[in-house]
Amino acid sequence: MAESEEPSRAAGGCVLVVLGGAAVAAVFAVAEEAGVLTVWAVAVTALWRAARRPVSDSSAPPPPGEDRPSCSECAGHEFVGVTPSRTQKGMLIYTSAPPDRPNHTHIHIAKGEVNQA
């Protein structure tokens, strides 16, 4: 049975770098000034795109455990942790462990704000 090999992302990146270098070399071969302008344009575009990229909220610390929601299902559970939702902004995922069911985690999703330290 043969395993299917997936090309790595690094290999794809190397191919793109080589193709980009060949394109820039071709522009330099035509006109040196055009090559310099091309390098500047690519650098400014890359910097602009990096500055416009939104910052991830995943590094924000979760709120303290005392503010966790209470419901009839969560009563008596041991608090495990709280995590901000990646898909819905402003939603928090609370996890707790019921004492009578080992290897089980109860999940409670509630609207809340992530406190910044």
Residue 107: predicted pLDDT: 79
Q: Which residue has the higher pLDDT, 86 or 27?
A: 27
Is the pTM above the cut of 0.85? no
Query: What pLDDT does residue 79 have?
Result: 77
Provide the residue ranges of all domains of the chain, joining segments of one domain with +. Answer: 11-52, 65-111
Collapsing DSSP states into helix, strand and coil, what is residue 84? strand
Neighbours of 85 (CB within 10 A): 16
Supply the DSSP symbol for 1: -
pLDDT of res. 62: 53
